[in-house]
Amino acid sequence: MRYINAILFTSFLFSASQVFADLTFPMHPQQVAPDIYALITPTRNLPNPENKGWNSNSAFVVTNSGVLLFDTGSSSAIGESIKKVIAQITDQPVRWIINSHAHGDHWLGNAVFKDTVEAIYATEQVKTKIIEDGQGWVNRFMQMTEGATGQSEILVPKNIIDQRTTIRFGDREGVLFLSGNSHSPGDILMWLEDEKVLISGDVIYSDRMPSTLDADLRQWVLLLGELNALQPKVVIPGHGKVTDIQGVMRLKTLLQSFWDAVKKGYDEGQSDFEMVGDVTAALAQFEPHYPGLEEKVKRDISGVFLQVEAASFQ
Ligand SMILES: [Zn+2]
């Protein structure tokens, strides 16, 4: 009996390594609850030649009549890889897609699923941005990755979410809700109540400094506080490893501290570039959890400064 198990185990290992050996992107689905999987990229960087643009996470839910895919990656090539990985787990096709927001690393894989997908959900803001700047994202990622992301076909989401909405997919249901434009205009998140799994898109970064370029920082902090009420058991973030409510609260503290440090400099009459050193120093304690912090602070500080300035006139 022990011998048979050993043979079975060995052949399982062999087939598993065969399955993933030929993939351009070595994706290993992480099951976080029954039929719910996270696809977590190992990189903590922006798209570059080394990661070939696979810098963001996706998630999928297998049902009795199709698969729901949350975010589709930075290119058709990444979408193809996601499709192959899903096919290792189920024969069901991808029938439903969620585009969490308009940044190109979350939707440029859409077109790979055009033969089977019945609905692609996003907000109106995200749909409009994809129509207006979709090709811009393709070009930017091509530049950043030295061509690795290729010429992805653009497939625009048509199923508009404009308020908290329960969607049915196969034998399951989930809640899509708006972030209030916290990380970027028109972000949506997905809540799977039965398993207490939150699929957040870029509203949560668990171990990389978030981009706040398009953010409404005060609203973001507010939203993260509200997520506490859900008490998710599992959070699949847009970037970084699978986390939980502690990861959400840590991010809230980081973003609040970013705001407070810029506000302090503003109140002392400093300009945005004058306060970079002080702000970075104030946030240094977060650097071990959020690599790239200094670089992102330097890049994003003027946007936060403008928000602090605007808030002071309210
Ligand atoms: Zn992203």
Q: 239 C-alpha vs ligand 1 centroid, how far in Å?
A: 6
The residue extents of the domains of the chain are 13-178
DSSP output for 92-106: --EEEEE---SSGGG
Say how many Å lie between the CA of residue 169 and the centre of ligand 1: 25
pLDDT of residue 282: 96
Q: What Cα–Cα distance (Å) separates residue 25 from each residue in 29, 91, 212, 294?
A: 12, 21, 27, 29
Q: Was domain 13-178 assigned CATH 3.60.15.10?
A: yes
Between 19 and 110, the more confident residue is: 110
**From CA 126, how far away is CA 191, in angstroms rounded?**
19
Mean pLDDT for the chain overall = 92
Verdict on whether the full-model pTM lies above 0.85: yes
How far is the centre of ligand 1, averaged over its atoms, from the C-alpha of 48 (Å)? Answer: 14
Distance 55 CA to ligand 1 centre (A): 8
Q: How many angstroms separate the alpha carbon of residue 74 from the centre of ligand 1? A: 9
Dist. CA 240 → ligand 1 center (Å): 10
Q: How far apart are CA 300 and CA 95, in angstroms?
A: 37
Express as a percent the part of the chain with pLDDT over 90. Answer: 87
What distance in angstroms lies between residue 181's CA and the mean position of ligand 1's atoms?
14
Centroid of ligand 1 to alpha carbon of 89 (angstroms): 25
Rounded to whole angstroms, the Cα distance separating 177 from 29 reads 25
Phi, psi of 97 (to 5 degrees): -125, 140
Tell me the CA–centroid distance for residue 56 and ligand 1, in Å. 6
- Residue 103 CA, ligand 1 centroid: distance in Å: 6
Query: What pLDDT, in 10s, does the model give residues 138-190?
Result: 999 999 999 999 999 999 999 999 999 999 999 999 999 999 999 999 999 99
* CB of 97 closer than 8 Å to CB of 157: yes
Nearest to 89 by CA among 133, 52, 34: 34
* Ligand 1 mean position, distance from CA 78 (Å): 14
Q: Give the CA distances from residue 209 to residues 47, 203, 241, 300, in Å, rounded to whole numbers and listed in that order.
A: 15, 12, 13, 11
Q: How far is the CA of 70 from the centre of ligand 1 (A)?
A: 13
Is the pLDDT at 237 greater than 90? The verdict is yes
Residue 23: the pLDDT is 60
Supply the pLDDT for residue 24: 82
Ligand 1: centre distance to CA 202 (Å): 5
Distance 8 CA to ligand 1 centre (A): 40
CA 4–ligand 1 middle distance (angstroms) = 45
**pLDDT tens digits, 52-93:** 999 999 999 999 999 999 999 999 999 999 999 999 999 999
Q: Nearest 5°: phi and psi at 241? A: -70, 160
Centre of ligand 1 from the C-alpha of residue 43, in Å: 12
At 16 the pLDDT is 42
38 forms bridges with which residues in the sheet?
30, 59
Tell how far the Cα of 159 is from the centroid of ligand 1, in angstroms. Answer: 21
Closest CA to 59 of 190, 249, 230: 190
Vertex 169: Cα angle to 166 and 175 (nearest 5): 25
**Considering only CA atoms, which of 165, 161, 173 is closest in space to residue 64?**
173
For residue 267, what pLDDT band results from cuts at 50, 70 and 90? Answer: very high
Supply the pLDDT for residue 12.
42
| 313 CA → ligand 1 middle, Å | 31
85 CA → ligand 1 middle, Å: 21
At residue 238, the pLDDT reads 98
pLDDT of 193 higher than 50: yes
Residue 98's pLDDT band (boundaries 50, 70, 90)? very high
pLDDT tens sequence across 5-55 = 444 444 444 444 444 444 689 899 999 999 999 999 999 989 999 999 999
Q: What gap in Å lies between CA 32 and CA 177, rounded to an integer?
A: 21
